[in-house]
Amino acid sequence: MQSAIDAPRSKGRRSTQEDMSENRQPTASLDLDANTPITYRYLGFETLLPSIRYADIDVDAQQRLPPCPDDSKFGSPLQWPQHPMAEDLGSSNIAMIAGITTFCIGFALSPMVLAPISEIYGRRIVLVPSGITYVAFQAVCSVMPNLAGMLIARLFVGIGGAVFSSVIGGIIADMWTKDTRNTPMALFSGSVLAGTGAGPLLAAVMMSRIGNKTLAWKWVFWHQVIVDAVLVVLIVLFLDESRGSVLLSRKAKVLNEWYKALEDAGVYGCRFEEPEILSDSSDTTTSGSDEKLASCQWTAADQPSRAMTTTVRLRWLVKEDEERASLAQLMKTSMIRPFHLLVAEPVVFFFSLWCAFAWAVLYCTFGTIPLAFSRVRGMNMEQSGYFFGSMIVGACVGTVVSIYQDRLLALPQWRADSPVETHSSFWLLMRRRFPAEAPESRLYFTCLTATFLPVGLFLFGFTVGSDAHWIAPAFGIGLATWGIYSVYLATFNYFADIYHMYASSALAAQSFCRNLLGGAFPLVTGALFTNLGEARAGALLGGIATALTVIPWALVFFGQRIRSRSRFAITPFTVQPPVRDRVHCSMMWRYSEKPDRGLKTIISQTTSRGRHVERPKTTDPGLNP
- Statement: residue 379 has pLDDT above 90: no
Residues in Cβ contact with 62 at an 8 Å cutoff, skipping those fewer than 6 apart: 54
Across the range 143-148, mean pLDDT stands at 87
pLDDT tens digits, residue range 45-78? 556 777 766 656 666 766 777 777 766 555 554 4
pLDDT of residue 307: 52
CA distance 185 to 492: 8
pLDDT surpasses 70 at 114: yes
- Model confidence band, residue 499 (pLDDT cutoffs 50, 70, 90): confident
State how far the Cα of 224 lies from the Cα of 240, in Å rounded to an integer: 24
Half-sphere exposure of residue 571, counting CA atoms within 13 Å on the CB side? 18
Q: Does the pLDDT of residue 486 top 90, yes or no?
A: yes
Q: Is the pLDDT of residue 497 over 70?
A: yes
Top pLDDT among 603 and 325 is at: 325
Is residue 588 over pLDDT 60?
Answer: no
Q: Which residues is 604 bridged to in the sheet? A: 614
Cα(618)–Cα(593) distance, integer angstroms: 13
What's the DSSP call for residue 580? Answer: G
Q: What is the pLDDT of residue 282?
A: 42
Q: Where are the beta strands (DSSP E) in 252-308?
A: 270-273
Between 53-67, 304-318, 341-355, the lowest mean confidence (pLDDT) is in: 53-67
What is the separation, in whole angstroms, between the first and last Cα of the chain? Answer: 82
Residue 111 identity (one-letter amino acid): P
Q: What is the mean pLDDT of the chain?
A: 76
Per-residue H/E/C for 234-274 = HHHHHCCCCCHHHHHHHHHHHHHHHHHHHHHCCCCCEEEEH
Q: Is the pLDDT of residue 24 over 60?
A: no
Contact 392, 191 (CB under 8 A): no
Residue 180 reports pLDDT greater than 90: no
SS3 310: strand
Q: Indicate whether 487 pLDDT > 50.
A: yes
Mean pLDDT of 308-328: 79
Residues 399 and 489: their CA atoms lie apart, in Å, by: 9
Q: What is the pLDDT of residue 290?
A: 42
- The pLDDT > 70 percentage for the chain reads 73
Mode of pairing for the β-strands spanning 309-312 and 270-273: antiparallel
Residue 25 identity: Q
pTM of the full predicted structure?
Answer: 0.72
pLDDT above 90 coverage of the chain, percent: 25
Instruction: Characterize the bridge pairing of strands 602-606 and 612-616.
Output: antiparallel
Helix 471-499 to helix 389-409 angle, to the nearest 10 degrees? 40
Cβ-defined contacts of 151-157 (< 8 Å, 24+)? 151/98, 151/99, 151/102, 152/102, 154/99, 154/100, 154/102, 154/103, 154/106, 155/102, 155/103, 155/105, 155/106, 156/106, 157/103, 157/106
Tell me the domain boundaries of the chain: 1-74, 82-242+329-564, 566-616
- Host H or E run for residue 309: strand 309-312
457 closest CA partner among 484, 436, 438: 484
Q: Mean pLDDT across the stretch 234-245?
A: 88
Could you give phi then psi for residue 587, rounded to 5 degrees? -80, 130
Q: What is the pLDDT of residue 468?
A: 84
What's the number of CA atoms in the CB half-sphere (13 Å) around residue 408? 15
Distance CA 65, CA 53 (A): 13
Q: Please give the C-alpha separations between residue 42 and each of 9, 13, 384, in angstroms, as whole numbers.
A: 12, 10, 25
Radius of gyration over every alpha carbon of the chain, rounded to an integer in angstroms? 33
CATH number for region 82-242+329-564: 1.20.1250.20
Q: What is the dihedral of CA 190, 191, 194, 195, to 10 degrees?
A: -150
Specify which of 111-125, 317-331, 484-498 reaches the highest per-range mean pLDDT.
Answer: 484-498
- Residue 229 is predicted with a pLDDT of 95
- Give the residue from 600, 598, 571 showing the smallest Cα distance to 587: 571
Average pLDDT over residues 222-230: 94
Angle between helices 213-238 and 124-143 (to 10 degrees): 160
Q: Write down the pLDDT at residue 86.
A: 67
Measuring CA to CA, which residue among 107, 83, 209 is closest to residue 163? Answer: 107
Q: Evaluate if residue 12 carries a pLDDT over 70.
A: no
- pLDDT tens string 153-175: 999 999 999 888 878 877 887 88
Task: Identify the pLDDT of residue 160.
Answer: 92
Tens-place pLDDT, residues 400-436:
999 988 888 888 888 777 766 656 788 888 888 888 8
Helix (H, G, I), strand (E, B) or coil at 38: coil
Q: What is the dihedral of CA 416, 421, 423, 429, to 10 degrees?
A: 60
Q: Which residues contact 544 (CB under 8 A, 6 or more apart)?
A: 357
